[in-house]
A = this chain, B = another copy of it.
């Protein structure tokens, strides 16, 4: 083994809502990391659609089968949160080329501010490519049934 230090990654996002695509990325990344902290950025000025406490509770339920996934909210810079939980890795899923350019800018700025952090990207599965939180949230707002895009035990009506 290369190191005794546990490999901790944070998976930051607003998860408004958390989708099947997010779940798949976390489950596949669990093979690489010892612990994954799902970190919900808490922004006082920008209002989310789903309440923060609901989002935390729903995601916790999705990963009730493992103690290697933790779910928290955080304020401030992502890199500061990494330092506070001892994470050297930021995990992100990539769906499209547009995603990529946005993610690259964030990741390179994060590395400029905290050189020891590394952003690690996994691809979403092909069938999850169109699933993004904005579209899913819009379906729910319009009264549609979005359950096929949400984790199987994720009940947004709870």
A residues near B (Cβ < 8 Å) are 1-3, 6-7, 28, 30-34, 68, 75-77, 79-80, 88-89, 94, 96-98, 100-102, 104-109, 111-113, 118-123, 125-132, 135-136, 139, 142-145, 148-149
Are B109 and A131 neighbours in the complex by a CB distance under 8 Å?
Answer: yes
Q: Would A123 and B107 be within 8 Å (CB), given that A32-B32, A118-B32, A130-B112 are in contact?
A: yes
- Taking a contact as CB atoms closer than 8 A, the residue among B2, B102, B127 that contacts A127 in the complex is B127
CA distance A93 to B99 in the complex (A): 16
* Identical chains bound together, number: 6
- Taking a contact as CB atoms closer than 8 A, the residue among B97, B126, B135 that contacts A130 in the complex is B126
A98–chain B nearest beta-carbon distance, Å: 5
- Taking a contact as CB atoms closer than 8 A, the residue among B6, B94, B127 that contacts A104 in the complex is B94
CA distance A82 to B98 in the complex (A): 28
Are A118 and B28 neighbours in the complex by a CB distance under 8 Å?
Answer: yes
Chain B residues with Cβ below 8 Å from A136 are 109
Chain B residues with Cβ below 8 Å from A122 are 118-121
Are B31 and A88 neighbours in the complex by a CB distance under 8 Å?
Answer: yes
- Taking a contact as CB atoms closer than 8 A, the residue among B102, B118, B123, B143 that contacts A119 in the complex is B123
Residue of B nearest to A75 (CB): B142
